[in-house]
Amino acid sequence: MSENQDQTHAQGGLSKVPLSATPLKRKDFTSDQEVRWCPGCGDYAILSAVQGLLPELGIARENTVVISGIGCSSRFPYYLNSYGMHSIHGRALTIATGLAITRPDLAIMVITGDGDALSIGGNHLIHALRRNVNITILLFNNRIYGLTKGQFSPTSEVGKITKSSPAGSLDTPVNAVSLALGAEATFVARSIDADRAHLTSVLRAAFEHRGSSLVEIYQNCPIFNDGAWDALTAPDSEGVIRLEAGQPVLASGGRLGVVQASDGHLELAPVSEVGLEKVIVHDPTATDPTRAFALSRLTDSGLMRRSPIGIFRKVDRPCYDDLSREQIATAQGRVSPDLHGKTSQLQALLAGDDTWAVS
Amino acid sequence: MAEQVSRVVVRFAGDSGDGMQLTGGRFGTEAARQGNDIVTLPDFPAEIRAPQGSIAGVSSFQVHFADRDIVTPGEDLDVLVAMNPAALKVHLPSLRRGGILITDSSEFTKRNLTHAGYQTDPLTEGVLEASYQLVSLDLTSVTAEAVAPFGLKRKAVARTRNMFALGLVSWLYSRDMAPTRDWLQTRFAAQPEIRDANLAALEAGWNYGENTETFAVRYEVAPTTQAPGRYRQISGSRATALGLLAASVASGLPLFLGAYPITPASDLLHELGKRKAFGVQTFQAEDEIAAVGAALGASFGGALGVTTTSGPGLALKQEMINLAVMTELPLVVIDVQRAGPSTGMPTKNEQADLLQALWGRNGESPIPVIAPNSPADCFRAAFEACRIALTHRTPVIMLSDAYLANGSEPWMIPDATALPVIDPGFATLPNTEDGGFAPYRRDPLTLDRPWALPGTPDLQHRIGGLEKSDGMGAVSYDGNNHDTMVRLRADHIARIPVSDAVWDDPSGMAKLAVVGWGSTWGSITAAVRRVRELGLPIAQIHIRNLNPLPANLGALLRRADRVIVPEINLGQFATILRAKYLVDARSWSRIRGMPLTVSELTEYLLSEVEEVQHV
């Protein structure tokens, strides 16, 4: 790796985005559009968290872009006063990729859902993450297709009864965090719509990360899948396993801790029995993703009772768009000084190296 | 003393590994450098290395060169170089009676003969000599002898056979081999023994012609009269890439290419990948959809967004192209058509994506479509596609095809300083009374919408695939608004100015008009010339802009008593002409993965002309 590349990726995700000349407020990011999500939808809380966070980031409003796919969550761009595109099903990441490669001065957010990102757009998610394009992905996971009125989604539990699965769905659900880690993602986190403070802190870290940041947000759909996350959002919830850098990984108010079993996998054990020193200490910056992946497997795949929340992985790797621009700069640096400007360069190229004259 | 001939068609054919594409390409360059007009036609299998000596593995390159303006790669061969039995089997039917047949006898082994489906060796039956001038050489031995001093391995020696063949044919047509020598010097500068062996094989081929009495006569083809200027030889792929680059320079916008490898469009990705010094960013995407999505994202940010593909890829991209229709963003889509449906014949030619380009999307989805008519014309068509996309904020499809992409011809090098400026005219100021931005408040004359880039203060706005209200661009499900927007989108594209079609009829007496589009221009033009040479009147109309169509086309069609539409599909353009202009356009089609056959088309046109002129 060149010294130049080291410098580039040492910078944060917003380092090339111009700052706002004047301090901005929440209302500066509120659009004039009437919000049309169902009453009680978890999307409201996420929108509010983003509208609260963006002014704090200090970046210029006009350099903020939201790209979404299709689904309830993908209506998001209309409600944020920035540049935005509500695109087509599953393809938001492709559009964001082209934009990020050509416009380093933009803070690009992709809003997507479990159907949009993990089903129809699953291929693009894998490739955006492995390329490490500098974009922040908010994946709203409500474990259901809401906009099409309640079919099971790729994150629904096995056996889920819906209109399209009257005898129960047969699909094994996908774990978005495990998938992202398998796709070589450099920033992978999970939060919950109902936990505003946690969501804001995770989103801030995601924006500040240079590269593709995936934040899975457990989001409640009160109409078609109400209570999907109750085990994690109840005030006395014991299901949340908190991931905090440098801290032991604990759950159930500290009574349970995550320990490594003799065969290598991670499991929960009473701290009083195993001792706090056996509880693993979370390190999201570990280069090897094995531990992060093992943590991601602590999530229930059936009815959700327990799940780690926080930043699983945050490592530095050069991003695709920075490298692509470096290749351009390198090539431009090699252009012969005889060729002043693009027109002379073009003339030389039009002619090629094998010409003849007719007089 | 050499005999003067006016035009010659030579085809080099051999196994995929025999270097026939390179040999043909060099021979074409020699002809062009000598001032002949040339048209070339490569033909190669989809398989990279089919079993050696098999019919499936035959690769060929045809060169048509003349002392006058020519428009097709030619059909009846004057010379066929067949490096093995399979090449002979496939290509002998194209050799005219009395034509020259050069073969490598050492390749006519029992095994190769069986591979090619010969029961016996045709070289020893005495049949070929009856119809052709058969020159059967042990190319392997004579080449091996010539390159012996360079100590190459047996396989490397075999790879110089093509240069012997090139030297021999170059002698036959009194070519200047200096450009090929220079080329070999440069190409193999790093491998002196390979370079010297190839040079030696080339000279040996020439000397074989000179010193043996194999050929009774030698030929010359005089230079043609071309407009003064500096020329180069150019393929459609390269011309397309240069047209895109020129548009990037003329607009001042960086070129972004999103592409997924697909035959026969991949050369565009390769060619533009080398142009980083121009600021070109090429993105090899995970699939066709991501390729066009990234191009649209780049356009949204103010780059010149381009995606390149072939028919199957276009099918996958259509939903994203429709998003560009709805958002009214520039997007240039190059479809290098190939034979379909489905995977079809990936390396073979067809023009059957016309209706897919025009109407292959959901909803009312009008977009401009342009088709170049020759390899060099791809430059102008690609430039025009970019100009229309950028200035009118619309996706544009350019329908190239496998023949245009791989074929080549001489091209007068354009003056880069004389390229028309493309002004994207970005919006920088609010356009509503309250200081806001209405993304669909159109120019009243052109109906183009304003294009504001992310990063422009105070013009924040949202666009997307949902129907938008006229003017303000808010999401709207209102039926009357939708009707208005559907009509506005149609009217917007219909208003894009395109050049009038030309009724080409030197006689002024033609009653029959032959109408074509795209790459059939060469075949149709050649057939029309033959009809006229026989003293019969015929009009030719060739269409480059397939949407919107030229405003005068209806009037031109009604001027003819009979309209014939030759196409390499089952009459797609004929269907459009019939539907749009209520004329009795008659389709004539041949869908063989090759350009239309001039002799066959001529015969048909003659019978039709005779019928209408004598009514």
**Model ipTM?**
0.96
* Residue B131: exposure state from Cβ atoms within 10 A (0-12, 13-18, ≥19): middle
Query: Residue B615: its pLDDT value, please?
Result: 53
Q: Do A83 and B460 touch (CB under 8 A)?
A: yes
Cβ–Cβ contact A72 with B under 8 A: no
Residue A112 reports pLDDT greater than 90:
yes
Residues B74-82, mean pLDDT to the nearest whole number? 95
Residue B506 reports pLDDT greater than 60:
yes
Residues 216-255 in A contacting B (C-alpha not used; CB under 8 Å): none
A316 close to A134: Cβ distance less than 8 angstroms: no
Spatial neighbors of A295 by CB under 8 A, at least 6 apart, are A241, A243, A249, A258, A266, A282, A308, A312
Q: CA of B195, closest CA in chain A: separation in Å?
A: 19
Average confidence score pLDDT of chain A: 93
Q: What is the pLDDT of residues A251-285, one digit of tens each?
A: 998 999 999 999 999 999 999 999 999 999 999 99
Report the share of chain B in percent with pLDDT over 90: 93
Query: Residue B54: its pLDDT value, please?
Result: 92
- Report the 3 state secondary structure along chain A: CCHHHHHHHHCCCCCCCCECCCCCCHHHHECCCCCCCCCCCHHHHHHHHHHHHHHHHCECHHHEEEEECCCCHHHHHHHECCEEEECCCCCHHHHHHHHHHHCCCCEEEEEEEHHHHHHHCHHHHHHHHHHCCCCEEEEEECCEECCCCCEECCCCCCCCCECCECCCCCCCCCCHHHHHHHCCCCEEEEEECCCHHHHHHHHHHHHHCCCCEEEEEECCCCCCCCCCCHHHHCCCCCCEEEECCCCECEEHHHCEEEEECCCCCEEEEEHHHHCHHHCCECCCCCCCCHHHHHHHCCCCCCCCCCEEEEEEEECCCCCHHHHHHHHHHHHHHCCCCCCCHHHHHHHHHHHCCCEEEEC
Q: CA of B350, closest CA in chain A: separation in Å?
A: 28
Q: Do A347 and B232 touch (CB under 8 A)?
A: no
Residues B584-605, mean pLDDT to the nearest whole number? 96
Taking each helix axis from N to C terminus, what angle separates B139-147 and B192-211, rounded to the nearest 10 degrees?
Answer: 120
**Which of B254, B457, B461 faces A102 most closely, judged by CB atoms?**
B254
A358 contacts in chain B (CB < 8 Å): 35, 226-231
More confident residue, A347 or A33: A347
Instruction: Identify the residue whose tokens are 């020598």.
Output: B181
Q: CA of B284, closest CA in chain A: separation in Å?
A: 11
User: Strand pairing partners for A80?
Assistant: A30
- In this prediction, residue B474 has a pLDDT band, given cuts at 50, 70 and 90, of very high
Q: CA of A118, closest CA in chain B: separation in Å?
A: 15
Q: What is the pLDDT of residues B103-122, one digit of tens each?
A: 999 999 999 999 999 999 99
More confident residue, B126 or B463: B463
Structure tokens at B255: 């070129």
Q: Do A94 and B457 touch (CB under 8 A)?
A: no
A154 close to A173: Cβ distance less than 8 angstroms: yes
Question: What is the number of alpha carbons within 13 Å of residue B155 lying toward its C-beta?
Answer: 1
Residues 190-219 in A contacting B (C-alpha not used; CB under 8 Å): none
Total-model pTM: 0.93
Residue B262 reports pLDDT greater than 70:
yes
Q: CA of B257, closest CA in chain A: separation in Å?
A: 9
Q: Do A102 and B232 touch (CB under 8 A)?
A: no
H/E element, B156? helix B154-158
A60 contacts in chain B (CB < 8 Å): 455, 457
Q: CA of A86, closest CA in chain B: separation in Å?
A: 4
**Which of B33, B227, B294 faces A94 most closely, judged by CB atoms?**
B294
**Which of A77, A105, A327 faces B455 most closely, judged by CB atoms?**
A105
Interface with chain B: mutation pick from A17, A64, A79, A87, highest number of B CBs within 10 Å: A87
Spatial neighbors of B304 by CB under 8 A, at least 6 apart, are B244, B247, B248, B251, B253, B254, B255, B256, B298, B330, B332, B386, B389, B390
Residue A41 reports pLDDT greater than 90:
yes
Residue A4 reports pLDDT greater than 50:
no
Query: Residue B1: its pLDDT value, please?
Result: 63
**Which of B249, B258, B463 faces A85 most closely, judged by CB atoms?**
B463
- In this prediction, residue A341 has a pLDDT band, given cuts at 50, 70 and 90, of confident
Q: What is the pLDDT of residues B229-240, one digit of tens each?
A: 999 999 999 999
Query: Residue A10: its pLDDT value, please?
Result: 43
B275 contacts in chain A (CB < 8 Å): 349
CA angle A245, A248, A253 (to 5 degrees): 115
